[in-house]
């Protein structure tokens, strides 16, 4: 066999390597050869052998479609990482020894996982490392003994401090994970605020794509990563155009990265197929469901942003649906947290039936907002064009007592602070409910909690009166705005009468005084 002897090969462009070693169809590194890979390289339909005295350093994307054999141990195959990115390896041979690097910037938390079979917490010596318990709803710092194993497929949280390491390169040595990954140690503990949230990790030395090829049992459709104080998510089971949360553009999860998933049943199991490994963020192709209408509300403050989405589509329900809906993950104190409220749940993604606006007894969605330092904020709405032009979309600020028409101005500016009630906003779609007679176009009468709401067409005027069930007038008020609100003190049923343009409209409503 003739062997190609090279002191250093630096591959800087995409290259298909075939027939390097004559007679065996292998790429054979011997006699102290050092190969550096800095871009996409494929050993296609061929084998790659790294002999004891040689070394392959991968800073790019390496695919080995044949057999990968490394006789040089963990130092013979090194997958690099730095502040500019990471190397990636796709291979099918089990038990390959390698070194995999992970780069941590300092003074921030990173969700991490191990890409090798036999890691211990000593890998993160002088770096704060903690694990999450779904059952206890608590973090547990991992310190001693340093021989404590880092469980394969588990996610952890790591912090490199300036006082100990500064920006750090973590080095994993061992056998690379390979084959399908079965996550069967997940837990579901009902009743807690973080019910069902498990922190898991990408086990491969390459990115893996969260897509519909994964097997999920009692598991929601969202994978959530953490980036610079806020949470980003991806759900490939959502309608096309609605898979993203907080700006995550695809389902790719980096090597050595941890991510959150949510269990919603007693027997949660996930199986990641090896086919989900990818070098690139390839587009996800599937037959999309149709999202009839949606509204996205993005809140910006202190240089951070957060969003909540409300999606109306076929298959949506008024109860919680873990496959499509996403409960709120709380960002750092300086960042805004905006969410919808459904019973006792705070939702980042709220999915409702496609005909909810026409059939809901209350055309109102409560919105929550949390942020700790006093600051100026703004909420910007997108997706309004997906609704019927005749449907009002109004944002009520309960603190300021104002109603903002999002159709006229998609951005609402306000100030917020730590003492504000988080349940500050109401989003009105102002659709009629249980009408006693056909209302004139543009007139809607409904109640939410202890308030009566009346909407009338723009530039119109009228009068309204509220009567108890004995026919006694409780109050009367003028209608000069698109949406007029009137508080009622006592819980019970009432009749609201609206007189406008010589027409009379009536509606029975129920007031629930908080």
pLDDT of residue 470: 78
Q: What is the pLDDT of residues 259-285, one digit of tens each?
A: 999 999 999 999 999 999 988 533 323
Is residue 192 scored above 90 in pLDDT? no
Boundaries of every domain in the chain: 1-79, 105-167+176-280, 291-428, 444-511
Q: Mean pLDDT over residues 152-176, rounded?
A: 96
- Report the Cα 306 to chain-centroid distance in Å: 11
Q: Which residues in 54-136 belong to E strands, given as ranges?
A: 55-58, 61-64, 68-70, 77-79, 81-82, 85-86, 88-90, 97-104, 109-112, 119-120, 128-133
Percent of the chain with pLDDT over 70: 87
Q: What is the mean pLDDT of the chain?
A: 86
CA distance 77 to 155: 24
- The answer to whether the beta carbons of residues 454 and 430 sit under 8 Å apart is no
CA distances from 316 to 152, 246, 293 (A): 35, 21, 12
- Report the Cα 240 to chain-centroid distance in Å: 15
Q: How confident is the model at residue 245 (pLDDT cuts 50, 70, 90)?
A: very high
CA distance 89 to 257: 15
pLDDT of residue 500: 83
Q: Which residues in 176-272 belong to E strands, given as ranges?
A: 181-183, 197-201, 208-209, 215-217, 223-227, 230-234, 244-245, 252-253, 258-262, 269-272
For the sheet containing 128-133, what is the strand order? 109-112, 156-159, 128-133, 138-141
Structure tokens at 90: 């796709």
- The answer to whether the beta carbons of residues 153 and 257 sit under 8 Å apart is no
CA distance 57 to 99: 10
- Which overall architecture, per CATH, does domain 444-511 show? Sandwich (2.60)
- The answer to whether the beta carbons of residues 212 and 197 sit under 8 Å apart is no
CA distances from 431 to 264, 459, 499 (A): 32, 19, 18
Least trusted range by pLDDT, from 151-165, 171-185, 478-492: 478-492
Q: Specify the pTM.
A: 0.80
Which span out of 1-15, 26-40, 414-428, 451-465 was modeled with the highest average pLDDT?
Answer: 414-428
Structure tokens at 13: 């462009």
Least trusted range by pLDDT, from 57-61, 285-289, 378-382: 285-289
Q: What is the pLDDT of residues 307-363, one digit of tens each?
A: 999 999 988 888 889 899 999 999 999 999 999 998 888 999 999 999 998 887 678
Half-sphere exposure of residue 58: CA atoms within 13 angstroms, side-chain side: 26
């Amino acid at each position: 066999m003739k062997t190609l002897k090279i002191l250093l090969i630096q591959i800087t462009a995409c290259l298909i390597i075939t027939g390097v070693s004559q007679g065996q169809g292998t790429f054979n590194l011997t006699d102290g050869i050092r190969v550096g890979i800095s871009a996409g390289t494929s050993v296609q339909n061929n084998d790659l052998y790294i002999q004891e005295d040689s070394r392959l350093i991968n800073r790019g994307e390496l695919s080995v479609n044949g057999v990968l054999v490394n006789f040089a141990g963990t130092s013979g195959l090194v997958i690099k990482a730095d502040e500019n990115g990471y190397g990636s390896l796709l291979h099918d041979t089990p038990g390959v020894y390698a070194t995999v690097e992970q780069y941590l910037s300092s003074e921030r938390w990173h969700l991490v996982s191990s890409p090798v079979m036999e890691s211990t917490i000593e890998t993160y010596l002088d770096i704060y490392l903690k694990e999450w318990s779904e059952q206890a709803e608590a973090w547990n710092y991992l310190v001693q003994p340093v021989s404590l194993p880092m469980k394969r497929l588990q996610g952890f949280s790591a912090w490199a401090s300036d006082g100990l390491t500064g920006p750090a390169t973590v080095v994993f040595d061992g056998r690379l994970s390979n084959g399908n990954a079965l996550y069967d140690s997940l837990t579901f503990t009902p009743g807690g605020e973080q019910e069902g949230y498990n922190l898991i990790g990408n086990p491969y030395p390459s990115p893996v794509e969260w897509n519909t090829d994964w097997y999920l049992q009692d598991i929601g459709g969202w994978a959530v990563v953490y980036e610079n104080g806020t949470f980003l998510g991806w759900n490939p089971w959502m309608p096309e155009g609605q898979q993203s949360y907080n700006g995550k553009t695809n389902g790719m999860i980096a090597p050595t990265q941890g991510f959150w998933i949510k269990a919603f049943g007693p027997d949660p199991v996930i199986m990641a197929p090896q086919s989900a490994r990818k070098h690139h963020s390839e587009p996800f192709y599937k037959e999309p469901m149709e999202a009839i209408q949606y509204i996205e509300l993005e809140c910006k403050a202190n240089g951070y942003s957060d969003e909540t989405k409300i999606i109306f589509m076929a298959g949506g329900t008024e109860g919680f649906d873990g496959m499509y809906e996403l409960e709120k993950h709380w960002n750092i104190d300086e960042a805004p947290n905006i969410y919808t409220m459904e019973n006792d749940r705070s939702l980042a993604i709220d999915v409702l039936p496609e005909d909810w606006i026409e059939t809901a007894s209350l055309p109102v969605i409560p919105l929550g907002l949390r942020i700790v330092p006093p600051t100026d904020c703004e909420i910007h709405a997108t997706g309004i064009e997906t609704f019927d032009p005749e449907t009002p979309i109004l944002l009520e600020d309960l603190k300021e007592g104002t109603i903002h028409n999002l159709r006229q101005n998609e951005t609402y500016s306000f100030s917020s602070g730590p003492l504000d009630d988080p349940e500050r906003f109401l989003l009105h779609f102002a659709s009629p409910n249980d009408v006693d007679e056909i209302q004139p176009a543009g007139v809607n009468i409904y109640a939410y909690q202890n308030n009566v709401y009346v909407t009338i067409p723009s530039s119109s005027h009228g009068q309204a009166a509220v009567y108890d069930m004995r026919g006694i007038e409780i109050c009367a008020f003028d209608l000069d705005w698109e949406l007029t609100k009137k508080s009622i003190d006592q819980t019970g049923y009432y009749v609201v009468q609206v007189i406008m343009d010589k027409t009379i409209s009536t509606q029975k409503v129920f007031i629930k005084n908080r």
